[in-house]
Structure 1
């Protein structure tokens, strides 16, 4: 496994109706690298977004979906999702502000 830097950990934000509702409780959802640990995710959020203080991190590993193209079958790649809970005195994450 390669050494992950904090800017390699978070791949993209996940914007769904459920994740937008959770933002009122200061919970933000991100797609993260599959080898990232909770500690690495916490460090990445605190370094990438100024004023953000992470209270806890919940992660979910998602298996790839089965796909067919004619007689050939395969699977899509595995993904990992992280729900980051910020502390009460923490600043909000700016990339979600205009949504």
Structure 2
């Protein structure tokens, strides 16, 4: 029982934020997928369980990618953006995540 609570606590921390971009919006409209920024040490199974727990939807598949931060320069000052781990979550047909309703 204690392990299950720890697991649920971890699942609530897996999803950092929804990823909002033109490509993410096109993917959501075209193939019923949502994109999330996730913790760097998360797995596909954890992401699937976290989405199902938080949004009460059924997930069919999860694709994960690691995006390296871009090198940026401003004059002589140079640096890098943070590395990001993203998850493309494919939902079962008939299910959708409405972020506006979830925020209230």
Shorter chain as denominator, the TM-score bin is 0.7 to 0.9
User: Which of 45, 63, 70 does residue 51 from structure 2 map onto?
Assistant: 45
Number of equivalenced pairs: 93
- Note the residue ranges of structure 2 that are not aligned, 5 or more in a row: 1-6
How far 1:22 sits from its partner (Å)?
1.8
Counting only pairs closer than 5 Å after superposition, residues 1-99 of structure 1 correspond to structure 2 as 5-24=10-29, 25-50=31-56, 52-68=57-73, 71-89=76-94, 91-95=95-99
- Note the residue ranges of structure 1 that are not aligned, 5 or more in a row: none
User: For 1:35, what is the secondary structure of its paired residue?
Assistant: coil
Counterpart-to-counterpart distance in 2, 1:13 and 1:5: 18
Structure 1 vs Structure 2 CA RMSD: 2.2
Instruction: Return the TM-score normalized by structure 2.
Output: 0.75
Instruction: Return the TM-score normalized by structure 1.
Output: 0.79
The superposition leaves residues 22-77 of structure 1 with CA deviations (integer Å, 9 ceiling, x where unpaired) of 22321101111111110110010000002x11100011101122234664543222
**Cα distance change on mapping 1:87 and 1:22 into 2, 3 Å:** same
User: Which of the two has greater helix per residue?
Assistant: 2
Counterpart-to-counterpart distance in 2, 1:7 and 1:38: 15
